[in-house]
Amino acid sequence: MLKDREVSEILAKECAQQASVLRMIASENIVSDDVLAALGSCFVNRYSEGYPGKRYYQGQAHTDALEQLTCARAKALFGAGHVNVQSYSGSPANMAAYMALCGVGDRIVGLGLNSGGHLTHGWKVNFSGKLYEAHQVEVNRETEHLDYDEVAALCRQVRPKVLFIGTTSYSLALDFARLREIADECGAYLVADIAHVAGLVVAGAYPNPVPYADVVTLTTHKTLRGPRGGMILCRSEHAKAIDRAVFPGIQGGPHMNQIAALAVALDEAQQPAFRAYGHQMVANARALASALTSRGLRIVSGGTDCHLMVVDLRPKGVDGKRAAMALEESGIVCNFNAIPYDPNPPRMPSGIRLGTPSLTTRGLKEAEMIRIADWIVEVLDAPEDAATHQRIAASIHNFLSAYPNRH
C-alpha cells in the first residue's frame, strides 16, 4: 500500500478493472511478477547516458552489465547481428531507423494507416509524413490483402530510400522475402516494424524478418509480454548509424529500469512455455475470427495469421465508436478501428480491432473464444440496451474469476 492514498485508490481500481473485464486491446498484455519487480527496481534511480563502456556518467558498472546482458539475450532470440535496447518506445525506434538510413526530404514508402500500417510509416500528420516525402501503399480494394506486385510498382515509380513495412491492424502474415526482393530492385533499405508480432516471431508463430530486413523495430510489450519500451535489431553494418540515431540523435539517458524488466522478459521468452503461448495466441485469434464470421460479422482481409483482427461492423449497422463503447459497458474492452477504404470518418470508423494476448496470458483457449464471440454479437445486436450490457458484464466478471489476471 502506498503512502499516497489517492494514487493507491486509483491503482486498486485499475487492478480490479483489469481483472474483471475481457481485455481485447491488441497492444496490451500482462507482465509477470518478475518483470514488474524489475521495472520497479533500484535501476529507476540510475542515469546512464551513453552506451556500455562509453557512458557520460560514472558509477555505471552494473548498468553496463545489465545492458550487455539484455542485448545478448535479444540477439540470441531473434538472430540479429546488432541490438539497441535503449528506445523509449516503438515510435522513437522508428524515428531512429529513419534517421540512420535516410535524410530529411528523402522518399519513403510505407503501409497506409487504414490498410493496417502505423502513423510512423509515413502518415501525413506524423513526423514521418512531415520530414520525408512519404508515399503510402494500400491493400487491394477487393481482397484487402497486401498486393506485392502493387508494392513493387509503387517502389519502381518512387525509388524510395526506405521501404518501411509493418502492421498495427493488418492481420495476415507478411512475405519478408518478397519485400526484400522489392527493396533490392529499387535500391531501398528494408525496415520491418514488428511491434505487434515480436512475441509471435520469437515463438515461431509468425515469419521472422531479421534474415531479410536491414533494420527491424519492435515494441517490448504487446505479444512479447515485457515492459513498455522499444528495441531495434539490425545488420552489423548499420550498428553505428542506429546507435548514433538513438543517442545522441533523439534521446538522452536510457530507462535502465525498463531495460532490467526487458532482460527478464527476454529470459521468459526463451522458455518452451513461451513458444506454446505464442501459438495459442494465434489459435485463439483464428477461433474467434471463425466464430464471429459464422455469426454474421466480416473479418477484414478474410481472417488472421496473428493475434489480432479487424471486424467490419457494417453488417450490424453500428459504427466502431458506438460498438466499442457498448462493449466496454458490457465488460469487453477493445478499440474502434478503420477498415480499408473506410467510408466513415476516423473518430467514427466502421470497425473494431480485437486481440488475444491478454486473454491468452490468462489461460483462455479456443472454446472460450466461441463464448466470447457470442457475447460480442449479443452486444452488437443491442448496442443501446443498458440492461443487456449490465447482464453480460456480470457474466464476464463471474466467468473470469477462474482465470487469474497474471502469468
Residues designated as active site:
47, 49, 193, 219, 222, 228
Q: Is residue 28 classed exposed, middle or buried when 0-12, 13-18 and 19+ CB atoms within 10 A define those classes?
A: middle
* Sign, CA torsion 304/310/316/317: negative
Phi-psi region of 90 (alpha: psi -120 to 50; beta: other; left: phi over 0): alpha
Distance of CA 234 to the CA centre of its chain: 19
Helix locations, 218-356, DSSP H = 239-244, 256-269, 272-294, 320-329
Q: How many helices (H) and strands (E) does the chain have?
A: 15, 15
Are 306 and 286 in contact, with CB atoms under 8 Å apart? no
Task: Phi first, then psi: give them for residue 284, nearest 5 degrees.
Answer: -65, -45
> Residue 79 corresponds to which cell in the numbers above?
538472430
SS3 of residue 89 by DSSP:
coil
Distance CA 145, CA 172 (A): 8
Distance CA 48, CA 60 (A): 7
CA of 35: how far to CAs of 41, 220, 340, in Å? 10, 12, 37
